Amino acid sequence: MENVQDKYRKVLVESLVLDDDVAVEAQVREILDKHFDENNNVDVWKQCFHSIDLTTLNSTDTVQSVTRFVQRVNDFETDYPQLPNVAAICTYPNFAMVVSGTLEVSEVGTAVVAGSFPSSQTFVEVKTAETALAVADGATEVDIVFNLGLYYDEQYEELADEIAEIKHACRDARLKVILETGALKKAADIKNAAILSMWSGADFIKTSTGKVYPGATLEAAYVMCQCIKEYHKKTGRKVGFKVSGGVSTTDDAVRYYTLVKEILGDEWLTNEWFRIGTSRAANVILSSILGKETKHF
């Protein structure tokens, strides 16, 4: 009888996703050289804006500041009726009720970071409780951090069980697993983390917390998108991709959009499957769309 731990090792070994760092870098360069310019236009900028998880994750956040933050998203509908709104508002879990209670735009989600963000270093019972409390307060999306400690100890079964337990605590909310690619660094480790997360029930895989380690890289995004493509081919289940940490310009957003388009196809180019986590880039991309400097958020 197959050992459960061996099952996960088998899945990792069987993956054919490219994980040589030099080769990955070359593939990214080739895709962007061929396709960046054709995607650098106002329609793509609008889609990138529509894919934003507008984020405030500050130690100084308060009920009043988060309420004002949400109100700017509400006001966007009136101020810019010709443009699509952001995809979601992302806060710490204790503000889920503030966001869900203040938000007046039905198509914008209430996202939270949970599970002892950004370290993921606490008891699994704490992680599931925090997740469940946030969902009870109105969170429709939950972003957690991949347990790097369990990964480096090769405790794959325990790692997968933890993600699955948190997924169960999400109920109907979507679960995004943050790989923290700036800590993993190597393409091979990023690939492994992506595969383990998806096989454990992640609805999205996300690059970074943007807190302690370096943020997203195009190379990490390439590997993750290839893993999503392979997983979808094997299982028929779609998993979303979210880039976060370091997306600060319109060009940055278009580069990630281009990788998603060329690897996963147009099917993934909606905010149901593609997200950009940022606190900075919303005004920058909005300014590109409008052709003038704009500071709405």
Rounded Cα gap, residues 197 and 88, in angstroms = 22
Rounded Cα gap, residues 68 and 100, in angstroms = 13
Rounded Cα gap, residues 201 and 83, in angstroms = 33
Rounded Cα gap, residues 266 and 228, in angstroms = 14
Residue of 19, 53, 143, 203 marked catalytic: 143
Q: Is 143 a catalytic residue?
A: yes
Amino acid 173: pLDDT: 98
Amino acid 2: pLDDT: 53
Each residue's pLDDT expressed in tens, for the chain with a length of 297 residues? 456 667 888 999 999 999 999 999 999 999 999 999 999 999 999 999 999 999 999 999 999 999 999 999 999 999 999 999 999 999 999 999 999 999 999 999 999 999 999 999 999 999 999 999 999 999 999 999 999 999 999 999 999 999 999 999 999 999 999 999 999 999 999 999 999 999 999 999 999 998 989 999 999 999 999 999 999 999 999 999 999 998 999 999 999 999 999 999 999 999 999 999 998 899 999 999 999 999 999
Amino acid 246: pLDDT: 85
Tokens of 76: 């966007």
CB–CB of 215/207 below 8 Å? yes
Rounded Cα gap, residues 241 and 263, in angstroms = 12
Strand-pairing partners, residue 274, are: 241
Q: What is the pTM of this model?
A: 0.95
CB–CB of 109/140 below 8 Å? yes
Q: Is 206 a catalytic residue?
A: yes
Residue of 127, 167, 176, 206 marked catalytic: 206
- Cα distances (Å, whole numbers) of residue 81 to 68, 75, 78, 84: 20, 10, 6, 8
Residue 84 CB neighbours (<10 A): 16
Closest CA to 179 of 167, 192, 169: 192
Tokens of 233: 């081919």
Rounded Cα gap, residues 139 and 152, in angstroms = 31
Residue of 167, 176, 242, 261 marked catalytic: 242
Q: Is 189 a catalytic residue?
A: no
Q: Which residues of 176-211 are buried (b: 16+ CB within 10 A; e: fewer)?
A: bbbbbbbbbebbbbbbbbbbbbbbbbbbbbbbbbbb
Amino acid 1: pLDDT: 43
**What is the maximum alpha-carbon separation in the chain?**
64
Rounded Cα gap, residues 77 and 81, in angstroms = 5
Rounded Cα gap, residues 238 and 202, in angstroms = 10
**Which residue reads 């709405």 in tokens?**
296
105 Cβ contact partners less than 8 Å away, ≥ 6 residues apart: 73, 74, 76, 77, 85
SS3 223: helix
48 Cβ contact partners less than 8 Å away, ≥ 6 residues apart: 250, 253, 254, 257, 276, 285
